[in-house]
């Protein structure tokens, strides 16, 4: 039987959000990964949750107005943009539910808490995006095979401008609130909404082409919008799959190993495991220490190691560190440290 000791600390979280390559993300369609939608600041901020719902209302109203014009005009390009906005608006529903559920404390049945609800929300979001892409693509292809006139081009143009304005309004609001509460995720979502506005401008271009007598302009723009939704779907599905499979960025593991090896008293790092629980990271590490250390000394090494680890790896709010002697001549001692850190809000 090996001795085992637990040690818990509460530290302030510096909220140094290392948000995954946002600059590159601006150059491609946005992701609906749940961890990107709700970060630590958003989780604990009423302003962040309010921004989520207000964004849903604005995008929902925009899509509703566009839907009316779709019925009037028969524009499949506008239909695609409408479905895109509907999908974006609906992402707030499962995310909001997951966000509220994630506030529940861990219990004896759900010992890690309810953070996984965000992953389930991600699955719902992927399905929503897939349905919108299928509907938009089907209507665009059907219109190419069976051309139909597009009526009320003026209203189509107005609806396209409304779509652009709605997304820009949401973008400005998300960015403003995100910067005020320190939520990099909300700022990024605002930038994503801004890029969605340009999809609406594509509808305006399609209406212009139709006005010039190019009957194929509207369904072709509809297909282009469908392609954009498919790219979003592919990116979202990949990220949700990786989250469900406990995948993490290998650079996080490299960083964790580097920090642990630099901790005084650590001779080697036998293993490091990191996993997402909702939008927070949890780590487990096995360290090798000198054989002549007492249990208290081994525990101190573990305490120092987990302290360094939780401060060096962004979003790492929990760490369990085990220490083992370098050799096992006749006996074996084992010290473990379990740490759960909550940030100040």
- Intervals of CATH 3.30.70.1350 along the chain: 250-340
Give me the chain's average pLDDT, please: 77
Instruction: Report pLDDT digits (tens) over 204-263.
Output: 888 888 888 888 888 888 888 888 878 877 877 887 888 889 889 899 999 999 999 999
- Intervals of CATH 1.20.1510 along the chain: 22-244
pTM beyond 0.75: the answer is: no
- What's the rounded mean pLDDT across residues 44-65? 82
C-alpha gyration radius of the chain: 25
**Residue 48: is it exposed, middle or buried by C-beta count within 10 angstroms (0-12/13-18/19+)?**
buried
Mark 261-294 as b/e (b = at least 16 C-beta within 10 Å): eebebbeebeebebbbbbbbbbbbbbbebebebe
The confidence score (pLDDT) of residue 300 equals 93
Question: Contact 300/288 with Cβ under 8 angstroms?
Answer: no
Residue 84 structure tokens: 């895109």
Higher pLDDT, 197 or 292: 292
CATH topology assigned to domain 250-340: Alpha-Beta Plaits (3.30.70)
Instruction: Report pLDDT digits (tens) over 83-131.
Output: 878 877 877 777 777 777 877 888 999 988 887 887 887 788 788 878 8
* The CATH number fitting domain 22-244, selected from 1.20.1510, 3.40.30, 1.10.10, 2.70.50: 1.20.1510
């Amino acid at each position: 039987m090996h001795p085992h000791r637990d040690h818990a600390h509460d530290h302030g979280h510096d909220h140094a959000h290392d948000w995954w390559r946002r600059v590159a993300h601006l150059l491609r369609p946005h992701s609906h990964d749940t961890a990107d939608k709700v970060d630590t600041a958003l989780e604990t901020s009423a302003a962040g949750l309010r921004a989520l719902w207000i964004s849903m209302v604005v995008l929902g109203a925009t899509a509703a107005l566009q839907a009316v014009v779709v019925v009037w005009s028969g524009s499949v390009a506008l239909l695609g943009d409408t479905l895109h906005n509907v999908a974006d608006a609906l992402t707030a529903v499962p995310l909001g539910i997951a966000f509220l559920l994630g506030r529940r404390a861990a219990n004896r049945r759900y010992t890690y808490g309810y953070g996984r609800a965000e992953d389930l929300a991600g699955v719902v979001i992927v399905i929503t995006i897939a349905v919108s892409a299928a509907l938009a693509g089907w209507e665009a292809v059907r219109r190419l095979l069976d051309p139909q006139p597009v009526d009320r081009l003026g209203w189509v143009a107005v609806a396209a401008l409304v779509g652009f304005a709605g997304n820009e309004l949401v973008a400005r609001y998300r960015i403003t609130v995100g910067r005020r509460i320190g939520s990099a995720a909300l700022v990024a979502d605002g930038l994503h909404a801004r890029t969605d506005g340009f999809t609406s401008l594509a509808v305006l271009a399609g209406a212009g082409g139709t006005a010039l007598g190019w009957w194929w302009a509207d369904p072709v723009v509809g297909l282009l919008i469908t392609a954009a939704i498919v790219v979003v779907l592919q990116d979202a599905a990949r990220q949700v799959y990786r989250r469900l499979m406990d995948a993490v960025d290998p650079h996080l593991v490299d960083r964790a190993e580097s920090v642990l090896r630099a901790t005084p008293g650590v001779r080697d790092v036998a293993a490091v495991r990191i996993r997402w629980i909702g939008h927070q990271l949890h780590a487990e590490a096995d360290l090798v220490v000198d054989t002549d250390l007492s249990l208290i000394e081994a525990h101190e090494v573990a305490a120092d190691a987990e302290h360094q680890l939780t401060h060096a790896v962004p979003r790492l709010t929990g760490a369990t560190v085990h220490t083992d002697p370098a050799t096992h001549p006749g006996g074996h001692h084992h010290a473990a440290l379990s740490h759960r850190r909550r940030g100040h809000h």
